[in-house]
Amino acid sequence: MSAAVDIAEALARRLSGVLGWRLVANSVYSVDVGMDDNKLCGNYRPPRATGEITGGVFIIWEDGTVSRGRIDSKTLSRLPRDIELWRSLAYRDDDAAQIAGLMPPTQVELFDPRVADIVTGDSGPVFEAVAQIAEAARESGADVIDAGVGCSAVETVIATSSGLWVKYPETNVWCSWGIDKAMSGIRLGRDRETLAALPRAVCATGRLALAAKARARVDARDMRVILTPRVVESFIGHYILHNMAGENVAEGRSRYSPEQFRERARVFRDDVSLIVDTAVPMGPGSYLCTSEGIPSGRAALIEDGHLAAPILNMKYARRCKMAPTPVPAGGMPPGHAGLTLRAESSESWAQLLAGADDAILVDSVLGMHTQDPTTGNFSLAVPDGIVVRAGQFAGAAKVVISGSFLNAMNEVDTRFALSEDDPNPGIELTCHVES
Amino acid sequence: MSLRVSACTEACRAACERARELGVYAVVRLQDKVERAIGVVNGRTDLKSVEEVSGVGVQVFAEGGLVGFASSDTVTPGSLVDLVESAARLARRSGAYGPEPAIGIDRIRPLVAQVEREVAMGMGAIGHAEEEDLVAGICKMTMEIDSRLAVRTFYRIVDEEWRVVRTDGTDVMFSMPRAAVMNMITARSDGHAATVNASLAGEDASIVASPEGRLRLEKRTVKAARTALALLGAPKARAGSYRIVMDYALAKGLAHEAFGHAAESDCMETSILGREGKFRAGERIAAHIVTIVDGPLEGDYAYQPISANGVPRETVEIVKNGILVRALADVFSARQANVPVTGAARAESFRHVPVPRMSNIRITVDDPLPIDLAFEDVAPQDVRDCLARAGLLLERAPVLYLSGYKGGQVNPAKGDFVFNCSAIYELTPTDIRLCQPAIFSGKVLSALGSIIAGIGQPILDAMGTCGKSGQRVPSSGGGNMFLVIDENEEITIGGV
């Protein structure tokens, strides 16, 4: 896997005359196996192997204009034509026109050779993991099972005109499952052990799916709703991530303004914080440094209920006159990408469920992406809201829940509960429920 | 003009030869996409890029129906041979785990064809600098409407080509040109915020560079900006069931999310439109006035003339006069669903395995009520007046007019759908009140069965992106300018 290095070295040589540059090149190989509607592989989910080069380059030309380009496996053969193409696309973006000074990348382990062996050698463990999921789901009473398991091995090169040259390997493992088209789960990691703990997690999903088979009735009213950690992840990704993104803050498309961050405005309850940490050893969202050369690490974005910092790359850090932050990795749920919500008063997930009475447990919603994140309001369909009475599941009802997620983070009666399987908590809050 | 993918003949031939040597059937899918994009945020250029993406996916079918897939962004004879070997190895490895055998690929006829869609204002028609000026102009024009607005304008033009080669001699090439512009408008004031989008899509740069396209986009933008501003102080709609009138973009959402996915042959074993795995053809599912059609339209944003398996894509009457007629089917699941193949397979990229899905879906109603205005010029009072003339306005409760589509989601197995709008207007004989958007949710068949009227002629350019199976492909569609859905207790407006 040296293609990424070859491309990076060739580009670095070709770009030596410009004002500044940075690049990232990833050589990615993966294998995945799936099951749809109880059918392993078949037409629509055949076992799949992929290999390609992905990445990008950012250039500051002599006149201060900038260009962004895409790197792939053809880049090497297209030089110098690609550089001329990128030059033809140059535009002025003074806040973006900067290259980070040389900073040592954080040393964080991201590679398991046993996972790399699965990708480049025997793919059997991936098939076996899908079989394990299916078996655990069937034992839980599942009628219809969907599952997917995949592994990838990546070699990454990050380089800048400041002298940064980082090359490191990483591995990824992802597993997902769905039961009866109603409940689902996900597990992400970087090591072989990610595959080992699947049955227990699948059984937990199976219990919810089993509870949803009996139907219950709920009267329309304001009532307590318990969002599972998986659903909280989607709320964080939609509402909090949007409003904390530096681009949206700087450009007036967030609920919060740069001034509110500078004034450390109080937006959540005093014991609630939002942390980004991209240097967790073997964390699925961890990395050594960002594509801009900013070392990974930990930062408080909301601290004790007060706005501390938006998520800032170098461009929006300059525009907001603040320091850049570690940036959550894209393409995965926020918690796995390093973004976690924490409340000092958190209890255990099992304790919260056991103590719940006259509540709706929500593990899946329809329509999250249709909501306006700037308002904080939500109005979501829940096809299988599980009625909880005296800590026991009492069937499921189709309901619509509505409220304000951001306001709920400021309510004294909102409860947070952590489980050992999920990076973010489950949350109990008051919603309006329509049946 | 020749397509870029025509240059890969030697690599395709090498792949097919290796497949025959290995005793497997192979489908080779080459993708070559050039995409130019411009993003302008609050009047400043934020993105200007050209992406050239090409690669190949190889799906092989081995003895006993074993299937494997491999892809790479390297397209050479050697790399394709490697992919065939890798896919065959995976297919045979799966045999130890009891996989579902693939059926159907050997039942389709070989096809040699080339469909190249030439457009008047393609990527070469105007330069990147001119495009930047046009997009920046749209953004700045929007900002000038009101100082409380933040605006992100994003434009992209795509020249995408595919080539599908099979070991049975099939060799088809086709192009799918498209362009879209979206204005995301956020109004903020006194701690309140609201976002409304205005968009226009088509096959080329005329959406921003022609006077007609520019005028339509400006009118939509002004309407959206004023709605966003008005929403800052708007009350909440009371949750419940109402008679509803929705615009054609929402009608497309209803047809696509609530119905179209359930008509795709790969999900018939769990779909509400299937019974024991077979499509419920011949059953009445809507009033006799309702027809639903999906198929490629020339000039459309989601145009695709040939499927990703190399089968011509048909225009399919899924529902005719309220009766379920045909499903959207590909070669792999048509027989099990008891429906004919319609060439419905689409894939996001060379990395993906195709699945049956929609392109342009439209829901239309016979004998629509007339309205003598262009869609961009229709105000809520025009909708109310039209309903009043037809006797469809209610005395006892408001009719809710849902405006602007903001996405949706469906569970085809359960028949549940949700989608959201940009704004809701409560229409009564004496008043019109703007309310905050709220989700429209319910049961698919209840919604279809409750359609009672249409207003205006069909408009089919509602743009979207379909996300089925984790693959994002362009989609579009529409319906009559407005659809009227009667009150039904299984269809609710959510409330916020």
Residue A181 to chain B, least CA–CA distance (Å) = 7
With CA atoms as reference, report the closest residue to B303 among B118, B155, B109: B118
**Which residue positions in chain A have pLDDT lower than 70?**
1
**Contact between B99 and B129 (Cβ < 8 Å):** no
List CB contacts (< 8 A) between B410 and chain A: 366
User: Does any CB of chain B come closer than 8 Å to the CB of residue A40?
Assistant: yes
User: How far apart are alpha carbons B153 and B45 in whole angstroms?
Assistant: 9
List CB contacts (< 8 A) between A434 and chain B: 239-240, 492, 494-495
Instruction: Give counts: helices (H), strands (E), chain B.
Output: 9, 24
Size of interface A-B (CB pairs under 8 A): 228
Comparing alpha-carbon positions, the chain A residue that sits nearest to B85 is A49
**Contact between A357 and A390 (Cβ < 8 Å):** yes
User: Residue B73 is nearest to which of A53, A366, A371, comparing CB atoms?
Assistant: A53
The pLDDT value given to residue B1 = 56
- Selected residues 130-149 of chain A with any CB under 8 Å from a CB in chain B: 130-131, 144
B150 with A253: Cβ contact below 8 A = yes
- Selected residues 86-105 of chain A with any CB under 8 Å from a CB in chain B: 88-89, 91-93
The pLDDT value given to residue B432 = 97
Looking at this predicted complex, what is its ipTM? 0.93
User: How far apart are alpha carbons B416 and B258 in whole angstroms?
Assistant: 7
B49 with A381: Cβ contact below 8 A = no
Q: Residue B470: phi, psi to the nearest 5?
A: 70, 10
Q: List beta partners, residue B345.
A: B356
The pLDDT value given to residue B439 = 85
List CB contacts (< 8 A) between A400 and chain B: 239, 439, 441, 492, 494-495
A37 with B239: Cβ contact below 8 A = no
**Burial readout B101-139 (b: 16 or more C-beta within 10 A, e: otherwise):** bbbbbeebeebeeebebebebbbeebebeebbebbbbbb
Q: Residue B272: phi, psi to the nearest 5?
A: -70, -15
Query: Around B201, how many Cα atoms within 13 Å sit in the side-chain half-sphere?
Result: 24
| Enclosing H/E stretch for A224 | strand A221-227
List CB contacts (< 8 A) between B91 and chain A: 46-47
A253 with B104: Cβ contact below 8 A = no
B90 with A91: Cβ contact below 8 A = no
User: How far apart are alpha carbons B54 and A25 in whole angstroms?
Assistant: 17
Rounded to an integer, what is the distance from CA B203 to the centroid of its chain?
14
B48 with A89: Cβ contact below 8 A = yes
Token pair for B106 = 């050997």
What residue type is assigned to position B24 of the chain? V
A304 in the Ramachandran plot: left (φ > 0), alpha (ψ -120 to 50) or beta? left
The pLDDT value given to residue A370 = 86
pTM recorded for the entire structure: 0.94
Q: Is the peptide bond before A47 cis (omega within 30 degrees of 0)?
A: no
User: How far apart are alpha carbons A364 and A399 in whole angstroms?
Assistant: 11
DSSP assignments along A152-221, one per residue: EEEEEEEEETTS-EEEEEEEEEEEEEEETTTEEEEEEESSGGGGTTHHHHHHHHHHHHHHTTSB----SE
The pLDDT value given to residue B410 = 82
Q: Residue B93: phi, psi to the nearest 5?
A: -65, -35
Q: List beta partners, residue B478.
A: B362
Q: List beta partners, residue B320.
A: B323
User: Residue B439 is nearest to which of A52, A88, A380, comparing CB atoms?
Assistant: A380
What SS3 class is residue A274? strand
Rounded to an integer, what is the distance from CA B458 to the centroid of its chain?
16
What residue type is assigned to position B111 of the chain? L
Query: What are the pLDDT tens digits along chain B (496 aa)?
Result: 589 999 999 999 999 999 999 999 999 999 999 999 999 999 999 999 999 999 999 999 999 999 999 999 999 999 999 999 999 999 999 999 999 999 888 889 999 999 999 999 999 899 889 999 999 999 999 999 999 999 999 999 999 999 999 999 999 999 999 999 999 999 988 878 888 999 999 999 999 999 999 999 999 999 999 999 999 989 988 888 999 999 999 999 999 988 999 999 999 988 999 999 999 999 999 999 999 999 999 999 999 999 999 999 999 999 999 999 999 999 999 999 999 999 999 999 999 999 999 999 999 999 999 999 999 999 999 999 999 999 999 999 999 999 999 888 888 778 888 888 999 999 999 999 999 988 888 888 999 999 999 999 999 999 999 989 889 999 999 999 999 999 999 898 875 3
User: Does any CB of chain B come closer than 8 Å to the CB of residue A337?
Assistant: no
Residue B487 to chain A, least CA–CA distance (Å) = 16
Token pair for B354 = 């195709």
State the greatest distance between any 2 C-alpha atoms of chain B, in Å, as a whole number: 77
Q: Going by DSSP bridges, is the β-strand pair A183-189/B178-189 parallel, antiparallel, or unpaired?
A: unpaired
Angle between helices B77-94 and B9-22 (to 10 degrees): 30
